[in-house]
A and B are shown apart, each in its own frame.
Chain A
Amino acid sequence: MKKYNNIDDIFKDQVSDFQINPSDKVWQNIEGSLFKTKKTNNQKKLLWALASLLLIIGSIFTWILFNNNAEQNILSITTNSNTSNNDNTQTINNINKETISLNAESSLSINKPIITNTPNAENEIVYKNNNNTKTSTSTSTSNNTLNNNITTDNYNKENHIDYYKSNLGINNLSPKGNYSIENKIAQFEISNTKKITVDEYLEKRKNLHFYTGASASIAMTYYTATTDQPTWSADLTYGLNLKQFYIESGVGFQKMKEEGTFQIEYKTNDSVGYYNKVVSFEVNPNSPNTITYKTQTTTVYDSIEHQVLKSPLYHYDYITIPIKFGYKFFQKDKFSVSAETGIIYSLLTKTYIPTVTYNDNESQLIEISNNTPQRIEHNIRIHIALRLNYNVTKTISLSAQPEFTRYINSIYKKANSNTTKPYTMGVRFGILFDF
């Protein structure tokens, strides 16, 4: 028997270094949790990287397309030289018929190039425009004498190039390098193009082109277990249009809401019945066997447990990556209608859990339990839509798109029925830039 000064010392002495071996499942759970988080983080990083890559590729792609668009106007005449044998060859590249149509805004005025040549000296090409005069110098040492003009009446592109070739004596160039007059020819051609209408442009462009755009949607998500909630999203898209068909992808952000399920248990002192309490009694002196009782009705209270459900809103953030295919089945002037289908992958990036409190001085809280089903991170939806497109200009169009999406997999971790696959119906509005 050990004597202690007080009861505290017994426990200090006995339990401060108390040890028990945990069961194996504890470490398995810890390990699973840590590694799952790590894996999930890696997956998230990977998806963010993919989304960023997609954006970067899209941006580069857009930049290249814009540049190509500008460079489509350039014709190049290149002299490939061989310094060892003086064998000069000339090639003419990129005589692009589209060049003319792409410069619909240009003026109809004709500029007359005047090319002068001084024997044994450098050729000089002079353009006389309405607004300014541009001069370029070649390195040719041609012996030809040049003094030709091109007029509106006799101009065509092939003649123009031949004109330069013959007048500048390209065939006789010394092997000093590239001989470039492309910009000048392009400028000349630009200034000689006709104005065309948007409709004509669209007609020319309908075979193959790329586009990019931005869109935003508002939709209603229909849950079977909880109240329907609005959802919105914003996307950046990149697409390829091939005749009547198009394929489109991109990256987007989606915000969803859903009611949570919280059960609050509390107890209150409630009336559960009553009894008649004897307050006093009287004995009748004339009849001792007769007793008169005075009673009072007394209410009985007991602690009664109650349950109440609360449904505050959960908010969810998703990153979405769609792949969509469309077919344009109707087109009239600037207006077109396409049928569209595809899949949308979504990654749950953030869950906002609402706070539930219970304050009532008349009752005593027992427990607040959260029975909201947890959502999974990865989802795939099927997407069906109708795209109504209106070309505002030859490169910009606006779209309105009634769309329907339905989740293929359950959005919850504990899935037990089809009720876990909600669907959405809404409208998407977008702006597209064609190249």
Chain B
Amino acid sequence: MVGEIQIIEECKEGKHKSFALLYKKYAPLMLGVCYRYSKTKDEAEDVLQEGFIKVFQKIKSFEGKGSFEGWMRRIMVNTAINNYKANNKHYYHDDIDKDNNNLKTDDPLPFEFDDNVSKLQVVKLIQELPAGYQMVFNLYVIEGLTHQEIANELEVSINTSKSQLSKARKWLRNRILEIKKMDSYSYIDEKI
């Protein structure tokens, strides 16, 4: 069994077989990341493809400090951000809400969630978010970036980031409650 470090070293030497091994190991997890930032699986796969090409091109710069998975994840997220900026830049104009400058970023309300809901259905909920909300929600909640960092990445103001996050939370809560009322998550299409 070849270790990950050895595979990475072989990738640095340009060995095709090692690229394939690395891809096989990480592609499903990385597609999961890309999927959250995309609207469809096709779009997610485009981001994954571009992200992996970057990973292989930049692998020599990976010095082994920190986890390789984290390093890859960051590249995928950056690729997704670039993809979003290229395709959805106009959403920012819609989403800037000057009246929400003092919005609270935390949402401490307790919430009950059905255990039977699959992860895919949860991800689909994120995908349903308007593009701007989806981006900020992913970066803040899942990746753990601060509003300052999000503002820098997306080239928006901190207040815009806060506003988008607040709206995203509200949107998701309403959506989940709506589904609960229907007493079924089955309407969320499980097909990918």
Q: Residue of A at shortest CB range from B33?
A: A18
Known: A26-B48, A27-B20, A364-B93. A15 touches B111 (CB 8 A): no
A23: B residues at CB distance < 8 A: 45
Query: Is the C-beta of B63 less than 8 angstroms from some C-beta in chain A?
Result: no
Contact B114 A1 (CB under 8 A): yes
Assess whether B119 is in contact with A18, with CB atoms less than 8 Å apart: yes
Interface of chain B residues 40 through 65 with chain A (CB within 8 A): 41, 45, 48-49, 52-53, 56
Binds B, one of A4-12, A292-300, A337-345, A417-425: A4-12
Report whether A18 and B36 are in contact in the complex, using a CB–CB cutoff of 8 Å. Answer: yes
Contact code string B1-36 (vs A, CB < 8 Å = 1, else 0): 000000000000010100110010001110110011
Given the known A-B contacts A18-B119, A22-B28, are A5 and B110 also in contact in the complex, defined by CB atoms under 8 Å? yes
CA of A59 to CA of B14 in the docked complex: distance in angstroms? Answer: 36
- State A364–B31 Cα separation when bound (angstroms): 32
B99 interfacial by beta-carbon distance below 8 Å: no
Contact B122 A11 (CB under 8 A): yes
Query: What residues of A have a CB within 8 angstroms of the CB of B16 in the complex?
Result: 31, 35
Task: Please indicate the chain A residues that have their CB under 8 angstroms from the CB of B141 in the complex.
Answer: 8, 11-12
Residues of chain B within 8 A of A18, CB atoms compared: 32, 35-36, 119-120, 122-123
What residues of chain A lie closer than 8 Å to B126, measured between beta carbons? 11, 15
Of the candidates B19, B48, B107, B112, the one whose C-beta lies within 8 Å of that of A3 is B112
Beta-carbon contact of A7 and B172 below 8 Å: yes
Chain A's interface size range is 35 or more
Shortest beta-carbon distance from B70 to chain A in Å: 12
| Most-contacted residue by chain B among A26, A31, A35 (CB, 10 A) | A26
Tell me the bound Cα distance from A20 to B120 in angstroms. 9
Cβ contacts A17-47/B at 8 Å (1 or 0 each): 1111111011101110111001000000000
Q: Which of B52, B87, B112, B176 has the most CB of A within 10 A?
A: B52
Task: Collect the chain A residues with CB atoms within 8 Å of residue B28's CB.
Answer: 19-22
| A1 and B116 alpha carbons, distance in the complex (Å) | 8
User: Which of the residues A6, A38, A367 comes within 8 Å of B87, measured between beta carbons?
Assistant: A367
Contact A22 B48 (CB under 8 A): yes
- Output the nearest chain A residue to B122 by Cβ-Cβ distance: A14
B19 surroundings in chain A (CB, below 8 A)? 31, 34
Complex formed: what's the CA distance from A137 to B28 in Å?
Answer: 89
* A34-B169 contact, Cβ under 8 Å, with A3-B112, A20-B31, A366-B90: no
| Chain B, Cβ-Cβ closest to A21 | B28
Q: How far is A4 from B113 in the complex, measured between Cα atoms in Å?
A: 7
Q: Which residues of B contact A26 (CB under 8 A)?
A: 27, 45, 48-49, 52
**B109 CB-CB contact with A under 8 Å:** yes
Q: A7 contacts B173, CB within 8 Å?
A: yes
Expressed in whole angstroms, the minimum distance between the Cβ of A371 and any Cβ of chain B is: 15
Chain A residues, Cβ within 8 Å of B94: 364
> Of B120, B142, B172, which one neighbours A12 at CB under 8 angstroms?
B142
- Would you call A8 and B112 a contact (CB within 8 A)? no
C-alpha gap A10/B168 in the complex (Å): 14
Judging by beta carbons under 8 Å apart, are A2 and B112 in contact? yes
Q: Report B-chain residues with C-beta under 8 Å of the C-beta of A31.
A: 16, 19-20
Q: A3-B110, A16-B142, A33-B49 are in contact. List 13 more A-B contacts (CB 8 A).
A: A4-B110, A4-B112, A6-B106, A7-B107, A9-B111, A20-B35, A20-B41, A26-B27, A26-B48, A30-B53, A31-B19, A34-B56, A366-B90
Lowest 3 A-B CB distances belong to which pairs? A18-B32, A19-B28, A14-B122
